[in-house]
Chains A and B, each alone.
Chain A
Amino acid sequence: MLNIGNKQKRVDGPQKVTGKATYAADIASPFYHAYVLQSTIACGSITAIDTSAAEAFEGVKGIFTHKNLPERLKNKVDYTDPLSPPGKPFRPFYNDKILYNGQPIALVVAQTFEQARYASKLIKVTYEEKKFKGSLSDNLKNASADRAPEPASNRGDFKKAFKNSDYTIIREYRQSRNYHNPMEPHATSVEYKSDGSLVVYDKIQGVASSLKYLNGVFGLGADRVQVKSDFVGGAFGSGLRPQYQLFMATLAALELKHNVQMVMTRAQMFSFGYRPEVIHTMKLGCSKDGILKALSHKTVGETSTFEDFNETIVDWSGLLYKCDNVNLEYELTPVQSYTPLDMRAPGGVSGVYALECAIDELAHEAGIDPLEFRRKNYVDYDQNEDKPFTSKELMACYARCEEVFGWKNRKDLSKTEPHLLKGYGMATGSWEALQQPASVSLSMNEEGTFTIKCATADIGTGTYTVMSQIAADKLGVSIEKIKFMLGDTAFPDSPIEGGSWTVSSVGSAVASVCEKFKYRIADIWKRNNPDYQAVAFEDISFQKGKLEYGSKTFAFTEIMQQASKEELSIAHSESPAAGQNTHSGYAHCCVMVEVTVDKDLGIIKVPRLVNVSAAGKIINPKTAENQLLGSMVWGLGMALREEGMVDTRYGRVMNANFAEYHIAVNADIHDIHTEFVEEKDDKVNPLGAKGVGELGIVGLAAAISNAIFDATGKRLRKLPMLLDDVLEA
């Protein structure tokens, strides 16, 4: 009953297509509705706040501001969550200080959503404003390496090697700020129980993070609060840290002793984390025959004034190609904004964008085909960490992508249309293959149905389906016999769903608990059948819900009946094998794109996108391919559409809506293709699987930038690349 590797349809599909999948705002209990009023200045303090008119408005149940925050939330309160960066986390309503424009300054709770929203507009606020630095460019002189973690060690002698190189480039690349914007706005529904305990339905990528926060801030332990999250309407990192709606809904529920729901508006989805704006300076040198001799990558990124958010950006430049003289620098500078937040392939997508543009520029200087240049500088060893890779089939990706795309004869493929310029570009992509500790429980009932529980999440990645497949495969039962449950703090601990590590972490735990089950059921069978007591476990097999020995079969349910057992329960905790730190685990890909640029109007289109990935064992090609395709579209959006624009005079996001913050739509996507090459990996984790949720976005924006150069002869060196950039360049 092989299930791993099948194109299994999603087991939660029927719920999703019928509207029965319940997200955090879809809970049916009667709720009071909470609406947040946000500051209209970026820096300073509140001098007066008059809530009297709002309090008097019909339906209003309560108003919370810094004036009436309960004292118990001020002393010795821990506002951190498991992914807090260094610094002091934002504390809503803690005092009169304004740290960023859009900061929640009042919460109105009312019978209906409309009443709460309307009443919030009746609150009168006066401020005292202070001067501030509203953007990265405004505050570059305060950039400092002291606030950032140290990158991978420098190696060799960059300066000398750069000087001695035959071809060199020095280039600057800029990326604008990007906002996650999952389709589901952040929401929390809190049910207040008669004994004062809470059930909290939160939009989060791991319920344990919400619980940790609620415990730190409100002193609510697992005995008084249960956090649930059955379905998450996308997150892409926005749910890695509890967002302020969790604080708001919980505060109001506790104070009003009533169910409270808070759902962010789309505009409020721009009032917390984002992928930070960064500026890269790249210096690369190679020999006449295209061998990379010297590489320097310096990145300056923005953070908030209260937390030092950091990413692993420049290290990728020391990893992707063989180079013995490498210099890496990373600096942060504070701006008057909320703290940035990990967003799909954090760090990697930024570092590799700059690297893959620079590599293309250097290849062009040296007069070498960009694919050939990358092959020449291929590395089969992690020079940053001084370790071999667990596996790396990037060469196979290059070969297959070259073939599928038709890279060699690409220029002949052009059907010329007089007003369109055509160009072709490529890039390498990579993402970490990590495994974290995870725990699961398994139980089989008397009907032979298995329930497996873990506090992990399914943010659209397919966790429900893939875990069910792994269990069905390992237990030798049909997938219909498996019920995988997640998103509940009552379930065994899981790492947060991020970093593309859910399959490797939770999947490995699921595989192991199934193995344990087989030993256990075999034990029970032997104990109750004296004839078979001496049978070795290796001589037993498991098929179709039955234990098989020789020509005899024994249904799991019969074995249970015989032992008068109604349920069999097993728990398991899995940690990465001790030997894993001897190797570096990464997934890799090659992406090739075709662009057209309108000569007169500068309009950039991407008629063709091809990605070939090496990511170990693919548990479900259907969901894995979908993940890859989605992240490729993200790469396109990042390259050509997405730009969080801040008015630096006010520190305010100017385009906090879908009409002006453009994400890729259906009509932007044309011929898009992804496939996997075979990659065997017996070291990365017990399943040999690497995550794919982040891989496809890495390198893609560079490939589009490189293709635009191929089409127009113009290097745009910034993201997003817009039609006016083409016309002005």
Chain B
Amino acid sequence: MNTNLVHFTLNGEPVEVAIEPWTTLLDYLRYHQKLVGTKKGCDHGQCGACTVLIDGNSVNSCLCLLVSLDGAEITTIEGVATADNLSPEQQIFIEEDAYQCGFCTPGQICSTIAMCNRGEINSEEELKDWMSGNLCRCAAYKNITKAARRIYEES
């Protein structure tokens, strides 16, 4: 099978890989790298569970082919914490109980970080709009909003 050579940074480490052109970033992370913190909730860009950071922006990794990411800087939930310490975003999600089952949580945290990177959130409604790409079937939305607001204000 034809493969393409791609170079990128994954959680701070440089990676070079020969990959089939149809492999999505999500499947690459989960099946090739065993970075299973990034979740597959729909595989169609409808739920946000697979959200990761590419050059600081939030991206549905299921909608992104790895071959298109040459030169990109990719951060997954595994790259959010530093060594053994939780990041401030992770701490705040715990404090605010901004989850229940935890399955959507890695995606929610990555979206929150991207929101802070981008800035330009001027109201609660804008914040909720931003976070609405990440479905939470447990519906911990009130606490997710609280956590995301705190993280945004403290960033």
Contact = CB atoms under 8 A, between A and B. Distances in A.
A266 interface: yes
Contact of A461 (B100, B103, B143): B100
Contacts of B137: 181-183, 234, 236, 663
Q: Which of A14, A185, A233, A629 has the most CB of B within 10 A?
A: A233
Given A460-B100, A666-B134, A629 B140 contact: yes
Interface in B35-65: 35-44, 46-47, 49
Contacts of A424: none
Interface stretch (A21-29, A88-96, A135-143): A21-29
13 contacts: A13-B93, A17-B90, A17-B94, A18-B80, A114-B22, A183-B41, A183-B136, A184-B41, A623-B97, A626-B143, A637-B139, A664-B139, A672-B141
Given A626-B97, A633-B139, 13 more contacts: A13-B94, A19-B35, A19-B38, A23-B39, A58-B1, A183-B39, A233-B102, A266-B43, A462-B100, A658-B42, A667-B131, A667-B132, A669-B142
A20 B78 CA distance: 8
Nearest to A697: B139
Q: Which of B94, B97, B99, B144 has the most CB of A within 10 A?
A: B97
Interface residues of A, number: 60
A183 B137 CA distance: 6
A16 to B, nearest CB: 3
Nearest to B32: A112
B135 A663 contact: yes
Nearest to B103: A233
B103 A23 contact: yes
Interface of A: 9-10, 12-23, 25-26, 28, 58, 112-114, 181-185, 231-234, 236, 263, 265-266, 459-462, 622-623, 626-627, 629-634, 637, 657-659, 663-669, 672
B41 A666 contact: no
B116 interface: no
Contact of B103 (A114, A183, A634): A183
Interface string B9-37: 00000000000001100010001001111
Contacts of A622: 97
A232 B138 CA distance: 12
A28 B94 contact: no
A234 B100 contact: yes
A270 to B, nearest CB: 12
Q: Which of B47, B78, B141, B143 has the most CB of A within 10 A?
A: B141
Contact of B132 (A113, A460, A626, A666): A666
Q: Which of B95, B128, B138, B141 has the most CB of A within 10 A?
A: B138
Contacts of B94: 9-10, 13-14, 17
B96 to A, nearest CB: 9
A17 B103 CA distance: 9
Contact of A19 (B78, B140, B144): B78
A664 B135 CA distance: 8
A609 B16 CA distance: 52
Contacts of B31: 112-113
B101 A667 contact: no
Interface string B90-126: 1001110101111111100100000000000000010
Contacts of A623: 97
A627 B101 CA distance: 11
A577 B131 CA distance: 47
B97 A10 contact: yes
A466 B90 CA distance: 21
Contacts of A231: 101-102
B45 to A, nearest CB: 9
B102 A657 contact: no
B90 A666 contact: no
A663 B136 CA distance: 9
B77 interface: yes
B78 A18 contact: yes
A630 B104 CA distance: 14
Contacts of B36: 19, 22, 25-26, 28
Given A25-B40, A113-B27, A666-B134, A629 B142 contact: yes
A185 B46 contact: no
Contacts of B134: 666
B103 A667 contact: no
A183 B81 contact: no
A659 B44 contact: yes
B103 A658 contact: no
Nearest to B41: A183
Nearest to A630: B139
B5 interface: no
A630 B102 contact: no
Contacts of B143: 626, 629
A114 B27 contact: yes
A462 B99 CA distance: 10
Nearest to A18: B81
A18 B138 contact: no
Contacts of A666: 128, 131-132, 134, 136, 141, 144-145
A665 B135 contact: yes
Contacts of B35: 19
A9 B97 contact: yes
Nearest to B38: A19
A672 B37 CA distance: 30
A9 B139 CA distance: 18
A12 B132 CA distance: 25
Contacts of A113: 27, 31
B133 to A, nearest CB: 8
A16 B100 CA distance: 9
Given A18-B86, A28-B34, A629-B139, A182 B40 contact: no
Nearest to A269: B42
Contact of A183 (B22, B44, B135): B135
A114 B134 CA distance: 25
A21 B47 CA distance: 19
Given A21-B102, A630-B140, A184 B93 contact: no
B129 interface: yes
Contact of B105 (A17, A263, A663, A669): A17
B100 A626 contact: yes
Contacts of A460: 99-102, 138
Contacts of B131: 666-667
Nearest to B34: A28
A630 B138 CA distance: 6
B141 A633 contact: yes
A18 B99 CA distance: 13
A15 B90 CA distance: 10
A113 B22 CA distance: 12
A20 to B, nearest CB: 7
Contacts of B76: 19
Contacts of A10: 94, 97, 99
Contact of B39 (A112, A184, A630): A184
Contacts of B23: 114
A378 B27 CA distance: 56
A420 B102 CA distance: 37
B101 A459 contact: yes
Contacts of A14: 86, 90, 94
Enumerate the 10 nearest inter-chain pairs by beta-carbon distance, A residue then B residue, closest first: A19-B37, A460-B101, A233-B103, A16-B102, A460-B100, A633-B139, A658-B46, A19-B77, A13-B94, A26-B36
A231 B131 CA distance: 24
A626 B139 CA distance: 9
Q: Which of B1, B40, B49 has the most CB of A within 10 A?
A: B40
Contacts of B44: 266, 657-659
Contacts of B142: 629, 669, 672
A232 B101 contact: yes
Contacts of B129: 667
Contacts of A114: 22-23, 27
B15 to A, nearest CB: 18
